[in-house]
Amino acid sequence: MTTSVPATTFADPASAQSLERAAASLAANGFDVEILDDVAAARVRVRDLVPEGASVFTGASETLRLSGIQDDINVRGRYRAVKPRVLAMDRATSADEIRRLTATPDVVVGSVAAVTETGSLVVASGSGSQLPAYAGGAAHAIWVVGAQKVVPDLDTALRRVHEYALPLESVRAQAAYGYPSAVNRLLVLNAEYQPGRGTVLLLREAIGF
């Protein structure tokens, strides 16, 4: 199977003004928002935000992998990392426990496919495993978002999902699992009603899909 990857502006970092507009809208919608210079700053900030010993689930994310945050959480031993635990479990006999562990961690850390300047987060998923925790199951959610993911509105965000992020994720999935990805589930977070629950770390640099 050959998957074409479009060359579009969806790979380009948003302007400082666009980041500021997105941050202001997210804050107005109840999210905690910080604009950080780069992934190094994001790694430090995630460590500050996540209490030592907390149960932490990481959503599948090139942003987390490339930044080193994935290994900081799942390998270093500072937290009760959920992902290594569930990967070691038998999915046939432990499906219910896996579902509960991934849906209700103390903290979920991940990324999104797009952030709109109107203050929405858009998450696309093949399996949906990270969506319960993102939507409200986790006590605290942290999303690390590269500057290229900021778009004007929801229509553009959905275009970004299908025209840009999906082809790239399909290439990754084909190599990793032997089959392409699909947008089987789509989550749009328009607001966070619980103060302090959702934190968005917007980076001034591009990273991830």
At residue 6, does pLDDT exceed 80? no
- 175-196 pLDDT, tens digit each: 988 999 999 999 999 999 999 9
Confidence of residue 105 (pLDDT cuts 50, 70, 90): very high
Closest CA to 16 of 121, 120, 130, 150: 150
- The candidate with the shortest Cα–Cα distance to 156, out of 207, 205, 120, 110, is 120
- Identify the three-state secondary structure at position 56: strand
Question: Which pLDDT score, from 0 to 100, does residue 3 have?
Answer: 43
Quick one: average pLDDT of 93-120? 97
Residue 14 has pLDDT above 50, yes or no: yes
The pTM of this model reads 0.94
pLDDT tens digits for 48-103? 999 999 999 999 999 999 999 999 999 999 999 999 999 999 988 999 999 999 99
Q: How far apart are the C-alpha atoms of 170 and 116, rounded to whole Å?
A: 23
